[in-house]
Amino acid sequence: MAWGFVTFRKLPPLGMLRSFEAAARHISFARAGDELGVTAAAVSQQVKALEEHLGQSLFLRRPQGLSLTEAGLSYLTVIRDAFDRLGAGTDEIFHGRSAADVSVRVTAGFAHLWLGPRLPRFLKQHPGIRLRLLTTLWTPLEIDREADFEIRCGIGAWPQLTAYRLTRDRLFPVCAPALLGDHPRPLPPEIVAGQRLIHVASFAEGWPDWFRGAGCPAGEAAGAIVFDTASLAVDLALAGGGFMLGRSCFIDDLLREGRLVAPCAAKIKSSEAFYLVERAGERLAPPAQTLRDWILAEAQLSPEISKQNR
């Protein structure tokens, strides 16, 4: 008598499937190799072995590059679904998480000033997804084991992680309208240098960088206050406690609402940006994919990033 489980012997090895899925997603053996930590030749060999195992070509190899065959495209859908189900089942059984749970680690400032105001729209569209936000102040090297993915600030280069850029920020002074009084705008940088300046310690650039960009020696005649998260700095600026070096992704909405004003014309580009990062080569469970794709779409709607992508 033949038992049903013997048919599993006909399944291709997992390494072949991973190589094919990554190559099909990137349409590149080289980029798939970067993701998996192997050479392009190794990925090519694994895909070739898979094609021999299946008896069909999955890619068309042309001088101008790769493309999926019809069979390859159909098989990619099957493999992605299988990986998604495997990941979701592993989390549910061994990590005690429901298949509807999504856990995201995000910097406190981004959670408060960018993600939080947008989340009600997502929750209304997807009422069955249970969301857990884990906030942090500093960017770790690896993704938290409890998180499906993270949103972090940096230059976009983290080992073994895939990063999607969310923001392209400019930095410039902002303050509460009441602080300007009768001063005409734009204010000269020298006037700002004499005000109480609010600093955020967690970013690479700060007030000295803006003053250099504006052609003015930095000065802090009225003292300064330093926060380790942007959300507290914005709260103090809204309350009229001083001038803050605003980051466009955090303060654009507040400027449109008139709750903050930009008194100076000079702006500098930030070397850092916020990125959504996930473990390279791992497939997210469907609810996490849904949130990930929604965040990426929201980022494209922001004026600063959409202008850069035109």
Chosen domain end from 94, 113, 129? 94
**Within this chain, do residues 294 and 228 fall inside the same structural domain, yes or no?**
no
The pLDDT, as a whole number, for residue 307 is 40
**Within this chain, do residues 195 and 108 fall inside the same structural domain, yes or no?**
no
**Within this chain, do residues 238 and 289 fall inside the same structural domain, yes or no?**
no
Amino acid identity, residue 10?
K
162 occurs within a structural domain? yes
242 occurs within a structural domain? yes
DSSP state of 205: -
The pLDDT, as a whole number, for residue 73 is 86
**Within this chain, do residues 36 and 150 fall inside the same structural domain, yes or no?**
no
**Within this chain, do residues 34 and 183 fall inside the same structural domain, yes or no?**
no
Candidates 258, 262, 259; CA nearest to 245 is 262
**Within this chain, do residues 197 and 228 fall inside the same structural domain, yes or no?**
yes
55 occurs within a structural domain? yes
Helix or strand run (H / E) with residue 115:
none
- Domain containing 255 equals 170-269
The pLDDT, as a whole number, for residue 261 is 95
User: Can you give the CATH number for the domain in which 39 is found?
Assistant: 1.10.10.10
The pLDDT, as a whole number, for residue 301 is 72
118 occurs within a structural domain? yes
Chosen domain end from 76, 94, 112? 94
The pLDDT, as a whole number, for residue 252 is 94
- 241: CB partners within 8 A, 6+ apart: 196, 198, 225
**Within this chain, do residues 65 and 117 fall inside the same structural domain, yes or no?**
no
**Within this chain, do residues 253 and 284 fall inside the same structural domain, yes or no?**
no
Pairing mode, strands 161-165 and 243-247: unpaired
**Within this chain, do residues 140 and 221 fall inside the same structural domain, yes or no?**
no
Chosen domain end from 62, 94, 126? 94
Does residue 280 come out as left (phi exceeding 0), alpha (psi in the -120 to 50 range) or beta? beta
Domain count, the chain: 3
Mean pLDDT for each consecutive 10-residue tract of the chain (310 residues)? Answer: 47 90 88 89 94 93 88 85 70 60 91 95 93 77 79 88 93 94 85 90 90 79 78 94 95 95 94 93 88 94 46
240 and 176 Cβ atoms separated by less than 8 Å:
yes
**Within this chain, do residues 107 and 150 fall inside the same structural domain, yes or no?**
yes
The pLDDT, as a whole number, for residue 310 is 32
The pLDDT, as a whole number, for residue 25 is 83
**Within this chain, do residues 211 and 224 fall inside the same structural domain, yes or no?**
yes
1 occurs within a structural domain? no
111 occurs within a structural domain? yes
132 occurs within a structural domain? yes
- Helix residue ranges per DSSP H, the chain: 14-26, 29-36, 40-54, 70-94, 108-110, 116-125, 177-180, 189-193, 207-214, 230-238, 248-257, 286-301, 303-308
User: Can you give the CATH number for the domain in which 223 is found?
Assistant: 3.40.190.10
The pLDDT, as a whole number, for residue 183 is 79
**Within this chain, do residues 43 and 73 fall inside the same structural domain, yes or no?**
yes
30 occurs within a structural domain? yes
